[in-house]
Amino acid sequence: MSLRIIATGGTFDKHYDPIAGELGFAASHLPQLLEQARLDAPVALQTLMLIDSLDMTDTHRQTLLEACRASPQAQIVVIHGTDTLVESARLLGQAALPATVVFTGAMVPAEIEGSDALFNLGFAVACARALPAGVYVAMNARIHPWDQVRKNRALGRFEKDARA
């Protein structure tokens, strides 16, 4: 069974421009990270968009939903910015897709030393392979159903939503 990874951008895929002194987007880091991860099964990599999740609109989210619906793979990992990851996961969760969709991202860009991107990617892939159909958020070695998670901005992590 193969896996689809959909890139939407976020901190995970940001590049540091030393001339401008700012973070932005160029190409996705995923091809290099997948090579480094040495996955033993085929991976279909789809770069849907490379944007900051704060710039993600309902139209972008609808595009993501349609990409997941159209995926021939039933195991999908979505690389997403952490600021609005929960909102995108909610849209896909409410769509009740017949697939396992796992959202992940990074608090530090993949190309920066000390990044959590490679670990979160590997963890999300393992979750996508092991969990039943549904939508999940996999960050920092924790897995949360889409409707039971929130981002704790003060601590920089995802955790169970106490309101769930």
Domain ranges of the chain: 3-160
Mind listing the pLDDT tens digit for each residue in 112-159? 899 999 999 999 999 999 999 999 999 989 999 999 998 988 888 888
d(CA 115, CA 130): 25
Q: Which CATH class is domain 3-160?
A: alpha beta
pTM of the model: 0.93
Mind listing the pLDDT tens digit for each residue in 24-63? 888 888 888 888 888 888 899 999 999 999 999 999 999 9
3-state helix, strand, coil in the chain (%, to 5): 35, 30, 35
d(CA 125, CA 15): 23
Cβ-contact 54, 83 below 8 angstroms: yes
Q: Which residues contact 58 (CB under 8 A, 6 or more apart)?
A: none
Lowest model confidence (mean pLDDT) among 6-10, 26-30, 62-66 = 26-30
